[in-house]
Amino acid sequence: MTAALTVAADVLVVTLLAVGTLFVVVGTVGLLRFPDLATRLHAVAKADNLGLGLIVAALTLHAVAGGGDGWGVAAKLVLIWLLALLATAANSHLLARREESDEPAGHDGAGESDGGSS
């Protein structure tokens, strides 16, 4: 790889890392500042997934541009990102369903009587 191409790849990697980190920070601030569960889930799911995607893209470019076993590392990074996307979707879905049902956290319905006092 030529020196100019290496410098361009390094600049792109640093830019992707910076923008990805910015999205993760903004998502975290949204998680801490937004008033209800729905807006908090939206902030985390959208901003953090995009931020992680940009960070993975930067690390993938760095691994591939570095030579060696770059493609193997790139495949592992993309797999990690896909698993994080799946985990975020599942977690958001479960939290939204819990909020919608209006049950207190940790409540499984076992051991209740029919409203009478014992």
What pLDDT digit, counting tens, does each position of 59-114 carry?
999 998 877 788 899 999 999 999 999 998 888 888 888 887 866 666 555 555 55
Contact in structure between 27 and 51 (CB atoms under 8 Å)? yes
Task: Output the pTM of the full model.
Answer: 0.76
Residue type, 12: L
Q: Tokens 């470019």 sit at which residue?
A: 61
- Cβ neighbours of residue 6 closer than 8 Å, sequence gap 6 or more: 65
Alpha helical stretches, state H, 1-118: 3-33, 37-43, 49-65, 70-101
Taking the C-alpha atoms of residue 5 and residue 17, their distance in angstroms, rounded to an integer, is: 18
What pLDDT digit, counting tens, does each position of 17-66 carry?
999 999 999 999 988 998 888 888 888 888 889 999 999 999 999 998 87
